[in-house]
Amino acid sequence: MNIAKIEAIPFAIPYRKPLKFASGEVHTAEHVLVRVHTDDGLTGMAEAPPRPYTYGETQESIVAVIDKIFAPQILGLSPLEREAVHARLDRTVGNPTAKAALDMALWDILGQAAGVPVSGLLGGYTDRMRVSHMVGFAPAAHMVAEAERIRDVYGITTFKVKVGRRPYTDDVDACRALREALGPEVELYIDGNRGWTASESARALHEMADLGLTFAEELCPADDVLGRRWLVRQSPVPFIADESATDAAEVTRELLGGSATAISIKTARTGFTASQRVLHQCEGLGVEMVMGNQIDGQIGTLCTVAFGGAHRSTARRAGELSNFLDMTDDLLTEPLSIEDGTLRIREGAGLGFAIDPDKLARYRQDA
């Protein structure tokens, strides 16, 4: 069984409303469907979501690097030769979501070939995960209304609140309004996407000390090295490195340098292979993890829950698995369903999903 063909198909699906946060905003999911075909008829699939303001990738660059650089290097290899595949991909710097999508598509093939779910190959810890929902920038009353709707309709009781606006007190007020409306039983944590300075972040954490926050994520830039370390030393809650820790080396640097005390794992940027390396690294150091979201569609969300549910350490906490609810449509023949605040892992072989050809034809950008 060898890799015979690779497709990188750009598609675009609008969001119901713009998703706004400190490092940017998105109006349309302009993603790339990656399909890897073998010479014995299996097809593995995954989704690459470009985030130019975080990793520098665009939809066009993902398609180009896969078509022109990655595919010629790995055609003819077996999906079992993952180390050889990554050795060739890693000759090219950057391009994390393109590499991750190829990795996950290969795991999809391995699951299909073995007749078992990928989550079982990865570890098989549980069949579902609790869901965390992201609340983006909006007036405080709108943020509260969204969180209440998500709680009432889907049973979700964990919320990641985007912060990083100026003045910082706008976000403090929004978080306080969310806590007052949702009550003490709901879990809240904040994500600044590097929007504040270290001093603004410290003031905000001090003023939210009574809100029972679970985590703080990327409140100020990791590149502000001394300021970030100063902030993390005094943070009353675990401080998550996300976009500042995109591979195992960066995880080591951020943790041992004192710039973070917890890690967000995103399969959209580290696939399954590199995500396991980060997970085992964090387990060895006794560091908490959350499964993050790259504003993924349903394909990417399936990948996240498959990995997160496969491991005891990542299944402990709610995973960020609901951003697809903000999309007007998706490509799957069988859409995802969040029930009682949880999302189940697909039981079929591989990643367990199929693409609706009519929807793909409607949304693809290269036809």
Q: Which residues are catalytic?
A: 162, 191, 217, 242, 266, 294
* 292/250 Cα distance (integer angstroms): 16
With a CB cutoff of 8 Å and minimum separation 6, the contacts of 320 are 131, 132, 133, 134, 160, 290, 291, 292, 293, 304
308 and 295 Cβ atoms separated by less than 8 Å: no
Apex 340 CA angle, 294 and 188, nearest 5: 55
* Partners of residue 117 on adjacent β-strands: 350
The answer to whether 321 and 293 are in contact (CB under 8 A) is: yes
Burial level of 284, CB count in 10 A (0-12/13-18/19+)?
Answer: exposed
Q: Distance (Å, rounded) from C-alpha 278 to C-alpha 364? A: 33
Q: What is the DSSP letter of 364?
A: B
Residue among 81, 16, 97, 56 nearest 271 (CA): 97
How far is residue 115 from each of residues 104, 258, 278, 350, measured CA to CA in Å? 16, 44, 27, 7
